[in-house]
Amino acid sequence: MRVASHIVAECLNHIETLVQPGVTPIELNREVERFITGRGAYPAFKGYKVGRHRFEYAACISVNNAVVHGIPSREPLREGDIISVDCGAEKDGWFGDGAWTFAVGQIAPDTAKLMEITRESLMLGVARARVGGRLFDICEAIQDYCEAQGYGVVKELVGHGIGTHLHEDPQVPNYLPSPKEGFPNLELLEGMTLAIEPMINMGTAKVRTAKDKWTVLTADGKPSAHFEHTVVVRKGGGEILTK
């Protein structure tokens, strides 16, 4: 998992150098696939099935008001956009998963703050991934921080366990669930591996799914940011593998 996650981190660092006005998401997707396969791994998202729908790309690339699961388009990026790139790598049967939101040129101050708060909330969640704690410690840390800043915390989509499959139990919400929702508040044990991924909206927390059946959009059309790390539960807090 450490190897797979390091490939993801290297890939996202590489993609950041390519993000600029005029570049298209489909070009970035091709570069994600080239990079991951060039490191001897497989792009974990390509061919991933949800029901009857199969994702045909190496990365989910979500622009501005697209929260997650964006299909890479041929629409050139513009100055002031933000773009989230989410990708995974499978290496020798083990998975790593990570996402980062990038600025396209100069962006508005309120959009930059959204990115900053989302990134910081991820790190607060990672710090709570400590032995002897509870899963909901992670969830609560993310929600409390983001909502205190006035942002909407997406509840329809969650983080997840990860290991020999891209998505495993437990689900990791970015908010404190109510008992009726049925999420188990598991004790965090040494060596558990989690993909923690806050998805935070500038406006309402509500989302909708686009006609393509994949892309999740903010209900009010305002921007959204998404940051994700693959993390190991340790005594002093989470160890980040995607770096």
Are 19 and 77 a contacting pair, CB within 8 Å? yes
Q: Is residue 51 left, alpha or beta, with left meaning phi > 0 and alpha meaning psi from -120 to 50?
A: left
What mean pLDDT is reported for the chain? 97
In angstroms, the Cα distances linking 67 to 80, 85, 99, 190, 210 are: 17, 11, 12, 31, 11
148: tokens are: 């205190």
Full set of structural domains in the chain with CATH: 2-240 (3.90.230.10)
pLDDT band with cut points at 50, 70 and 90 for residue 195: very high
The answer to whether 240 and 229 have CB atoms below 8 angstroms apart is yes
Mean pLDDT calculated for residue range 12-41: 98
Among 41-45, 52-56, 115-119, 144-148, the minimum mean pLDDT is found in 52-56
Could you read off the pLDDT of 89-116 as tens digits, one per residue?
Answer: 999 999 999 999 999 999 999 999 999 9
Interatomic CA distance for residues 46 and 60, integer angstroms: 10
